[in-house]
Amino acid sequence: MQAGHPEETPDALEASMDRGGVKPELQQKVLRLSEFHTYPAPGVLIGAFMVDYALELLGVTADKKLYGVCETPKCLPDALQVMAHCTTGNNRLKVVPIGKFAITLNAPTEGETAEAVRVYVDLEKLKYYPIIDIWYANSPTYDKHTMKGLLQDEIFRAGRMILSFERVLVPVKIKKKWSSVSCPCCGETVPDYLIEGDRCGACGSMKYYEKI
Ligand SMILES: [Zn+2]
């Protein structure tokens, strides 16, 4: 973990989790997740409880193949990557930038849709946790210089008490056969389904660099 504020060291994090009554197995996961994320961001800490809850609701353990969707690109995807092994690279993590602190998780299925569990931060329940509430609302009354430690303590004390869930159906992505094609502009190859008209994405709408 990168050296940051005193309350962000692994020792301080463990002490804060002890105060909050976080169970030991989950504490280990929170430490690993914070290390992966490079620091214990509040969103990552809440994410740990969300994934832990979703796994329990699905009745599965993380050694099973799972698919996750995350409704924000901030913090939360790392909780799914580290704790449920739904990663960008194994294509079992989808990030939809809706801007909600919510995830869905599901096991593989043969059908076109899968039964998933959606776990989200419940605004009604946040009322009982005033510091998380103002942090979550991005309120100017939240002062990260003086309230960071308090926020962390409150997150661990709350655990899954700020979360709710619902059972939902999600579409299953069907794997398609593909072939490799050359882009006439750059000469590099891409899968046929990624060609944009007559060129590859890098020569088209996904261009993100200029040659130097
Ligand atoms: Zn090209």
Instruction: Band the pLDDT of 7: cuts 50, 70, 90.
Output: confident
Domains annotated for the chain, with CATH where assigned, are: 6-171 (3.30.1330.130), 176-212 (no CATH)
CA dihedral of 166, 83, 88, 173, whole degrees rounded to 10: -40
For residue 3, the model assigns a pLDDT of: 52
Tens digits of per-residue pLDDT, 151-189?
999 999 999 999 999 999 999 988 889 999 999 999 999
**How many angstroms does the Cα of residue 123 sit away from the middle of ligand 1?**
46
Q: What is the pTM of this model?
A: 0.92
> Any idea which residue has 């490799």 for tokens?
180
Rounded to whole angstroms, what are the CA distances from 80 to 3, 10, 22, 44, 103?
Answer: 24, 21, 19, 10, 8
**How many angstroms does the Cα of residue 183 sit away from the middle of ligand 1?**
5
**How many angstroms does the Cα of residue 8 sit away from the middle of ligand 1?**
45
**For residues 175-204, average pLDDT:** 94
Tens digits of per-residue pLDDT, 59-92?
999 999 999 999 999 999 999 999 999 999 999 9
